Chain A
Amino acid sequence: MLEIRWHSRAGQGAVTGAKALCEVMAQEGKFVQAFSVYGAEKRGAPMNAFNRIDDDPIIDHSKAMIPDYVLVIDPSLVYTDITYDTKEGTKYVITTHLSKEELLKEVPALQGKDVHVVDCIRISQETIGRAIPNTPMLGAFVKVSGAFDIDEFSQAMKEILYKFPQKIIDGNLQAIRRAYDEVN
């Protein structure tokens, strides 16, 4: 079972991102689950979304998990606790304008962890035209996890986004590719 925890602010698209990842994984024949933990629906409030991915049907409906990946799509959330309920091998993919060294200095709790950084906010602004950091995060996840071939992933995303105008589809695919290339 692969488990992912997203740290986001309400309105940044973590739920949509988690669901899109599910769609792609389901096309690959996996069983998937995407859910989120909301407070009252306040835009901008910190929230979590979750993925479970497995070869067998997923029947667990508890919210508890020790994730393999922690995906942070808002740069300010590194100042909240993002390392709770994790394990030795948990990988962090974090949206930030800081370099990895600067980030580790800024957030000592991340020192000694498997941390990857990418600026999903800037990438989405430059490709989609708005600060929607969820799709670039998927590109970064594809790179860090090695779970997919990036071309196959982009093709699957294209099919999922088919209802949107061509400009939006192109922007999202570009964002995914750039985050894939830029994450380190």
Chain B
Amino acid sequence: MAKQHRVVWDGNMAASQAMRQAQIDVVAAYPITPSTPIVQNYSQFVADGEVEGEFVMVESEHSAMSACVGAAAGGGRVATATSSQGYALMVEVIYQASGMRLPIVMNVVNRALAAPLNIHGDHSDMYLGRDAGWINLVANNPQEAYDLCLCAFKIAEDMRVRLPVAVNQDGFLVSHTAEVGEHLEDADAYGFVGDYTAHNPMLDPAKPVTYGAQTEGEWHYEHKMRQNYALVNAVPVVEEVLKAYSQLSGRDYAPVECYQTEDADELIICMGSVVGTTTMTVDRLRKAGRKVGMVAIRLWRPFPKEALAAAIKNAKSIAVLDRSCPMGTTGALYNETAAVMVENDKSANLINYIYGLGGRDTTTEHLEGIFDDAAECTKAGKRVKPIIQTINLRGKSLSFYE
């Protein structure tokens, strides 16, 4: 295991330090709360001469991602960071990045989408980019924001993958929360990420190439399906990279993290900063003799169907937490879970909680309430709660789909 240094970093500092260590050729970024400090820290590294790459100041997030696409097509290691409205403004170009198979790394500090305007954390932006063809990793604390950012370069640039990777972290709850963590020495971190290998770079006049060509009816379908083939088959590569990182750092990560699931009757499935609070809640209820557990989704895209099927196989009742308003249907993580259950002939009482919108607090007491709901379903042998419920909503309580 490599030597490490103990630090107190928030999620933004953790992500910017990982970017510094990866020796990126081009960072193009436009600041937006709560990811602004990533851009600010990184531009400080550039000003202090700590990194050799270019930092491109742009006039919007659309331009930021456009510059990233250009630089990546040109043959460089490229990264950026954004949040919320900035992410929304990037969306057109986010699809271009994945369609052109450019291994860009983006730290997404998750924040609500307006209206109403809100600077705090939820997963609306992550869900907005759900079908954009990026690999999406989820960091639940500052340590993971650092670790997964380093892993993201290695995953994105693997010749079996060559796709962009977003590393998500919850706005404020991770990005602005300082905690004790460990980081690798620069040489070890860079040694892990490795030198960048350009693939069909545009800046090679001896070998002219076209990026983003028009394909229409003859080739569009083939192109998209091959892109999807690369994305779906990235799961084992993600596993391989996380394993290699574990050998270096001693910190274990998996596409699906299981906590006390083996004999659990009731499970919470969730992702993001609520994972830590849920872990505490499981510990508390286990002490009281309750058979409860948690499944944390670390890899949101490509969705780790097999690992989730294994994780939930013994559960009697499952509560799925979505931190984004599904607007007209059930939550996206609930839908993924329901699909995995059908595909595996697995039956369990399945309920969905929409929580934490715009940074609304979620405590161990709230999570205990969810386990209580799930236990009621287990006892009754059927779902006795509405499919969608809310947690810590003020005023009249709301639920959907009786």
Spell out A's residues near B (CB within 8 Å). Answer: 15, 18-19, 22-23, 26, 30-36, 38, 40-41, 57-64
Task: Using A22-B8, A38-B172, A40-B119 as known contacts, say yes or no to A59 and B180 having CB atoms under 8 A apart.
Answer: no
Shortest Cβ gap from B42 to chain A (Å): 18
Shortest Cβ distance from A58 into B: residue:
B179
Spell out B's residues near A (CB within 8 Å). Answer: 6-8, 33, 119, 140-141, 170, 172-174, 176-180, 273-274, 276-277, 279-280, 361-365
Task: Using A33-B179, A34-B177, A35-B173 as known contacts, say yes or no to A62 and B277 having CB atoms under 8 A apart.
Answer: yes
Shortest Cβ distance from B274 into A: residue:
A61
The one of B7, B178, B362, B365 in contact with A35, judged by C-beta atoms closer than 8 angstroms, is B178
9 contacts between A and B (CB under 8 A): A26-B8, A32-B179, A38-B119, A40-B119, A59-B141, A59-B280, A60-B277, A60-B364, A62-B362
Query: Measured between alpha carbons, how far is A63 from B280 in the docked complex, in Å?
Result: 14
Q: Is the CB of A22 within 8 A of B277?
A: no
Find chain B residues with CB under 8 A from A64 CB.
Answer: 361, 363, 365
Find chain B residues with CB under 8 A from A60 CB.
Answer: 276-277, 280, 364
Find chain A residues with CB under 8 A from B173 CB.
Answer: 35, 61
Task: Using A31-B180, A32-B179, A35-B173 as known contacts, say yes or no to A61 and B273 having CB atoms under 8 A apart.
Answer: yes
Find chain A residues with CB under 8 A from B274 CB.
Answer: 61
Find chain A residues with CB under 8 A from B277 CB.
Answer: 59-62
Q: Is the CB of A23 within 8 A of B176?
A: no
Shortest Cβ gap from A10 to chain B (Å): 13
Find chain B residues with CB under 8 A from A15 CB.
Answer: 176
Shortest Cβ gap from B60 to chain A (Å): 20
Find chain A residues with CB under 8 A from B7 CB.
Answer: 26
Q: Is the CB of B8 within 8 A of A23?
A: yes
Find chain A residues with CB under 8 A from B33 CB.
Answer: 41
Query: Measured between alpha carbons, how far is A32 from B180 in the docked complex, in Å?
Result: 6
The one of B6, B180, B276, B365 in contact with A61, judged by C-beta atoms closer than 8 angstroms, is B276
6 smallest beta-carbon distances between A and B, as pairs: A59-B276, A61-B273, A35-B177, A62-B363, A34-B178, A64-B363
Shortest Cβ gap from A14 to chain B (Å): 13
Shortest Cβ gap from A137 to chain B (Å): 17
Query: Measured between alpha carbons, how far is A38 from B34 in the docked complex, in Å?
Result: 11
Q: Is the CB of B276 within 8 A of A32?
A: no
Find chain A residues with CB under 8 A from B176 CB.
Answer: 15, 35-36
- Of the candidates A18, A38, A59, the one having the most CB atoms from chain B within 10 angstroms of its own CB is A59
Shortest Cβ gap from A152 to chain B (Å): 18
- Of the candidates B173, B176, B177, the one having the most CB atoms from chain A within 10 angstroms of its own CB is B177
Shortest Cβ distance from B34 into A: residue:
A38
Shortest Cβ gap from A49 to chain B (Å): 10
Shortest Cβ distance from A15 into B: residue:
B176
Find chain A residues with CB under 8 A from B172 CB.
Answer: 35-36, 38
Query: Measured between alpha carbons, how far is A84 from B115 in the docked complex, in Å?
Result: 31
Shortest Cβ gap from A47 to chain B (Å): 12
Shortest Cβ distance from B120 into A: residue:
A38
Task: Using A38-B119, A59-B280, A62-B364 as known contacts, say yes or no to A33 and B273 having CB atoms under 8 A apart.
Answer: no
